[in-house]
Chains A and B, each alone.
Chain A
């Protein structure tokens, strides 16, 4: 842990030395004593981590010194230590930004010690949060988020860069698994709002009866179960970005409320009257075609135009050509790194298998497939047989084999015979073919009874 510098400002030299002696018992504390307010102010350039300030100094009052400290750096915590047992003074100082107010008595030492301990822990937490935020920022750098050289993804990449320069509303469209939320985060963390909150709301994940209070917040007692006041997602995202996913799933009444929030840039909590001004950047996403939804009457036209802003279309993986291999390699490398596995490569056959598959689950599916393959292989490479596709639509797997029509027919008939316990009459009915066709195939050895 870094050294923690404490200024003690105390005109009673005996008392000051005593506090300094006591705090210096912690080897991590670097304590400096000043006997006037001016001395303290002139030494602020040394960036103290905390200040213990006597209220009654010969040259200035505690209020004046506190004001000067806060003007220099509002982040420096100032603990007032005073013989002034006056509640209104204490309250006044706390309102002016003092961290705590300690009255000089037999407990002063312990209270000041605890105060400094808490301040130090808070500083350490703040630092950690800052580092994590920077870490998140790095995680969402464009080059980390967008992998691939295909023209369609490069176009999305260029639009994302444009989106970071202004506060324009962004509408992201694309099939499930194409990385819509990742793109929204990358825009946020590369914009001026990066240090402020990114709040993601999936409109399909919240029950209809709760969605309003979730988005706009509610006052205490607004409805049964609203035991405390709660701020909504829009307020939570103040100064930052709100990401509304699956926007096409909102019902029309909610759409009109969202439209009002976007138009007025303000929100009123459910059950409340107070209007809360908002500064929120909006990014929306959907896997549906919003224009089509407008035509069908499922989506308000005025809201559509307000949300359209800068549209970014994320292409499905099957249309991204060689990006499949670039991404597969990236995901495997990351997976091996995270799990301390030796590096893995793809055999030619594995690459071909990946390239032929249409990936209905897009990038998300590719990631799952190659991670599973990394676990399944017993070698330092991934072969075709290590790759299993578990997509919801199994038929695509069947079509991947690129067989002749005759072979497909044989496979279909065999499948049905197995399914219906070799009942040739029933299978012929199901497939709308003659029984004789099946008998002929059996006779020729093209198929077998199971």
Chain B
């Protein structure tokens, strides 16, 4: 049974089993997700919720691609809240969960694939 937070089946269906390519895309995810998450946290601090929504939208496809199931629902909720400006009180918990989830995924990926 796969206990990992991520699942690369979707990525592999798009690029095949080329290990070098898989490593490249995992590295790219680690790099870009960190950048986007940083921007999202800053937008949240500045209460720019619409920007939070846009950045969640941007991160959504990466999360789907890397098969991070536990964040799929959360990222969509953040996107919706930013767009509709409702349920804003849920954002802190959701963003915290997002940060934690991405952190775990990045660490697991680094250990499993890049090391």
Contact = CB atoms under 8 A, between A and B. Distances in A.
Interface of A: 11-15, 17-18, 21-22, 56, 58, 83-84, 104-106, 109
Given A12-B61, A104-B64, A18 B25 contact: yes
Contacts of A17: 25, 28
Contact of A15 (B13, B15, B54, B65): B65
Interface of B: 10-11, 13-15, 21, 25, 28-29, 32-33, 36, 54, 57-62, 64-65
Contacts of A106: 10, 13
Given A13-B32, A17-B28, A18-B15, A83 B65 contact: no
A15 B10 CA distance: 12
Contacts of A13: 28, 32
B83 to A, nearest CB: 10
Contacts of B28: 13-14, 17
Contacts of B10: 106
A104 B10 CA distance: 12
A186 B59 CA distance: 61
B47 to A, nearest CB: 19
B67 to A, nearest CB: 10
A14 B54 contact: no
Contacts of A11: 58
Q: Which has the most chain B C-beta neighbours within 10 Å: A17, A18, A84, A106?
A: A18
For the complex of A and B, the 10 pairs showing the least CB-CB separation, nearest first, are A15-B61, A109-B14, A14-B62, A104-B61, A14-B32, A14-B28, A12-B58, A13-B32, A12-B61, A83-B60
Nearest to B36: A12
Given A14-B65, A109-B13, A21 B21 contact: yes
B74 to A, nearest CB: 15
B54 A18 contact: no
Nearest to A106: B10
A101 to B, nearest CB: 15
A56 to B, nearest CB: 5
A83 B53 CA distance: 13
A22 B65 CA distance: 14
B65 A18 contact: yes
17 contacts: A12-B32, A12-B36, A12-B58, A12-B59, A12-B62, A13-B28, A13-B32, A14-B28, A14-B29, A14-B65, A15-B65, A17-B25, A18-B11, A18-B65, A83-B61, A84-B57, A104-B61
Given A12-B58, A15-B65, A18-B25, 4 more contacts: A13-B32, A14-B65, A17-B25, A18-B15
Contacts of B32: 12-14
A167 B62 CA distance: 60
Q: Which has the most chain A C-beta neighbours within 10 Å: B14, B15, B25?
A: B14
Nearest to A15: B61
Contacts of B59: 12
A18 B32 CA distance: 13
Nearest to B67: A106
